[in-house]
Structures are given as C-alpha cells and as structure tokens.
C-alpha cells in the first residue's frame, strides 16, 4: 500500500450500490429513534469497548475483519438517519404551511378563468417587446 491508498483499496470496486433506494417499494419515512435503539443494542451486545469515529485515521488503520470497524460505520450511519428524519419533518411542515397559505382551489379557478378569458380574446394578450 502506498501513501495515497486507503486500507482496503486493493479490493475490487463495484459500480453497484450496496443499498439503493427503490421508490416503488414501501415507505421512505425513516425513524431515528428506532435506529438508535437498534444500534445501541448492537453495540452493547458486541461489548467491544469504545469505537473510533468512522473515517478517522484510527478507524482506517483497523483490520477489515475487526467488528469494531463495522460497528463504528453503523453508528456513523445513525447520524445520516437523523438528518433524513429531520429533513422529512421539515418538508412535511413546509408542505402544511404552503397548503394553509391560500385557498388553492380558488386560486386554480382564477387561473383557469383568466386562461379561458384570454383564449377567447387573443387580441387582449400583451405582446412581448
């Protein structure tokens, strides 16, 4: 291994993702709490002591077969689940705010009426200059 390679870089790289989201199967909603409960139980059951942060030099230096390496990666993945859950919650709140911001059926009727009006009177449309 030269100075620029990372541990495990001699393994064959795959272009196929390990887990790709499939929008046609099930819900995309995530739960950090359930994930946290599972990870905490797995780490406690493994009883391997303190884990290094995934991606740090200490983690990179660990043998690929060291169970702490995979556990550290799972713990780091828990953070991603938290970020996704927070983003989903924010999107849902924003969606409710937009929905409550106007009488959208009325807005749609106004646009439809305006479009029908100008379709019947094309000479009234503004010309782009």
- Summarised one tens digit per residue, pLDDT across range 67-124 is 999 999 999 999 999 999 999 999 999 999 999 999 999 999 999 999 999 999 988 8
Determine, yes or no, domain membership for 19.
no
CB contact burial 99-112 (16+ within 10 A = b; e otherwise): eeeeeeeeeeeeee
> What's the rounded Cα separation, in Å, for the pair 15 and 9?
14
Both structure tokens of 17: 């993702």
Q: What is the pTM of this model?
A: 0.65
Give the structural domain span for 76.
Answer: 32-120
Determine, yes or no, domain membership for 44.
yes
Determine, yes or no, domain membership for 57.
yes
Total number of domains constituting the chain: 1
> What's the rounded Cα separation, in Å, for the pair 64 and 45?
20
Determine, yes or no, domain membership for 76.
yes
Contact assessment for residue 115 and residue 125, using Cβ atoms and an 8 Å cutoff: no
**End-to-end alpha carbon distance in the chain:** 66
Determine, yes or no, domain membership for 91.
yes
Determine, yes or no, domain membership for 23.
no
Determine, yes or no, domain membership for 2.
no
């Amino acid at each position: 291994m030269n100075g620029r390679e990372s541990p495990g870089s001699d393994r064959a790289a795959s272009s196929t993702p390990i887990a790709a989201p499939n929008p046609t199967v099930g819900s995309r909603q995530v739960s950090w709490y359930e994930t946290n409960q599972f990870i905490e139980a797995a780490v406690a059951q493994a009883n391997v002591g303190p884990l290094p942060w995934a991606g740090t030099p200490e983690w990179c230096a660990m043998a690929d077969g060291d169970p702490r390496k995979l556990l550290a990666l799972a713990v780091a993945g828990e953070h991603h689940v938290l970020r996704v859950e927070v983003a989903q919650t924010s999107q849902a709140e924003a969606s409710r705010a937009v929905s409550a911001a106007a009488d959208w059926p009325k807005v749609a009727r106004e646009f439809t009426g305006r479009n029908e009006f100008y379709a019947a009177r094309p000479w009234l449309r503004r010309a782009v200059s």
